[in-house]
Structure 1
Amino acid sequence: MINNGEEVLTLIDKIHNEKPYGTVLIRANDILNYLLNCNTHPTLAEISTGLKFSKPTTLKILNTLELLGWVIRDDQTKQYFLGTQLISFGDKALASMDLVKIARPYLTELRDKTQETINLGIVQNEHIILIDKLESPMSVKLQSTIGGQMNLYSSSMGKAVLATYKPSHFKDYLATHQLTSLTNHTITSAKKLQEDINLIKQTGFAMDNEENETDVFCLGATIKKNNRLYGAFSISTPTYRLPEERKNKFVRLLLNTQAEIENKI
């Protein structure tokens, strides 16, 4: 029986410092993430090559995931898909997030006023994870999907988050994350990114001008209260639908929505 506060802290530290149990679980997670982020439906060979796992190991894990209903294999094309069993997990996770419940009415109003796609995300492992998305009623569909992730440096939500980082945290981020080009407009210079962050701090909102996805412009802002960062949200639109006057209107709507959500929290 542990009855000493010091012993409790020692035990907690020991648990946190232990290596993860079961490398097969980690590899299964890698496979699920690969399927999630893949633009096509890959075969066994493509998954094995993409993750640099041996084919026998990859097949064993895929067979187990298929048995659990987490992946589906097309017997004719030999392609793998994410299984419908995962939907219930996703629904449960989203249902437990208060941020989605709180923000949804205000984001719905923002979508209706702008007629553009609205995204809601949280920060996880120095990435933006999309937890809610309200599609534009217009015909153009954007690539982002709920559960998908975006870089902090290339997305409007991510850059808005970076603007909240202390200088030491931002320096650590730059030291551990390569600014890889996603489009011809992606910021790949640490100096240029710093300049962008400084501007975000002044204006209170961030812009992604085709930096994350070609022909897509996004305006983003954080959701923050009492020095706690809850997440971020954005307005995404094809660049051809955003003349300067409309952009200025969107900025006002974005900041008004930010204030409404933060007041509700």
Structure 2
Amino acid sequence: MSEPSTGKPYGTVLIKANEILEFLLKTQDAPSLAQISAGLGMAKPTAQKILTTMNQLGMVRRDDQTKRYYIGTQMIAYAQKALASFDIAGAARPFLQKLRDETGETINLGVLRDSKIVLIEKLESPTSIKLQSIIGGTMNLYSSAMGKAVLATYTQSQLRQYFDTTKLTPLTPYTITSQTKLQADLKQIQQTGVSIDNEENESEVFCLGATIHKNHQLYGAFSISTPKYRLPKERRTEFVRLLLNTQHAIEAAL
């Protein structure tokens, strides 16, 4: 059997069904038929026919009382299968390599596992000193740039549970061990989109981090690690710009 063609997409109805799913995914409240039709610029009879078929297939669910549409539970199994087989390292690598080349510093990629960051990719700086992190190693959420970026996405309930089960043990003299100070730090991260590890995880090492997050799904986090002496204020500002540009590029490609 030949490989699928990468040419012009086939099947107008499939394309329109995908547009409907994308619309449902992005809207905060379940939309009505009229809202879907208006939002997509799709004729209401066309939208209704496609939605009826999607409803029969379990791709969407229509609430008969409110006449509003939701993504169907049939899609849960597909989402779980896709996440299980998704290779975030492979998807992010070209962008992280570009970031490494632009900064000349070490770039890390990690994923969340059991309230820790597991390092799954490390692109070494050509002029790097030896850093402690190794592929497969773990970092605390509260002390690492990648970890704090992830913690900043937590709800208050999730954060309380994390604090209830995690002791904020200092790794260096600069590790934040106060819940109040850490929460203030997380609020700053939520505002800027960038987390900072200022010798908190490893002495004399400064890291800037950000999450890879799309459609309410956290895929992981990445960071720029550098000896602190190589990061004056003006260079730090440039690194923040490059970090956020890389984040946006990765998320757009997912």
Between the aligned partners of 1:144 and 1:173, the Cα distance in structure 2 is 23
User: What is aligned with 2:210?
Assistant: 221
The SS at the match of 1:101 is helix
1:97–1:117: structure 2 CA closer, same or farther, 3 Å change rule? farther
Are the counterparts in 2 of residues 185 and 211 from structure 1 also a CA contact under 8 Å? yes
* Pairing of 1:65-104 with structure 2 (within 5 A): 98-104=87-93
User: What is aligned with 1:191?
Assistant: 180
| Residue 151 of structure 2 is aligned to residue 174 of structure 1 | no
User: What is aligned with 1:60?
Assistant: none
The SS at the match of 1:200 is helix
Deviation at 1:212, TM superposition (A): 0.1
User: What is aligned with 1:44?
Assistant: none
User: What is aligned with 2:41?
Assistant: none
User: What is aligned with 2:122?
Assistant: 133
User: What is aligned with 1:259?
Assistant: 248
Gaps of 5+ in 2: 1-84
The SS at the match of 2:180 is helix
Are the counterparts in 1 of residues 107 and 122 from structure 2 also a CA contact under 8 Å? yes
Between the aligned partners of 2:176 and 2:105, the Cα distance in structure 1 is 24
How many residues are paired up? 170
Deviation at 1:166, TM superposition (A): 0.4
- Answer with 1 or 2: which has the greater Rg: 2
**TM-score, normalised to structure 1's length?**
0.63
User: What is aligned with 2:105?
Assistant: 116
Deviation at 1:141, TM superposition (A): 1.9
The SS at the match of 2:244 is helix
Moved over 6 A (4+): none
Are the counterparts in 2 of residues 135 and 141 from structure 1 also a CA contact under 8 Å? no
User: What is aligned with 1:63?
Assistant: none
CA RMSD in angstroms comes to 0.8
1:97–1:130: structure 2 CA closer, same or farther, 3 Å change rule? farther
The SS at the match of 1:110 is helix
Gaps of 5+ in 1: 1-95
| Percent of residue pairs identical | 64
Which of 223, 226, 229 is equivalent to 1:240?
229
Cα deviation digits, residues 200-255 of structure 1 (max 9, x gap): 00000100000000000000000000000000000000000000000000000000
The SS at the match of 1:120 is strand
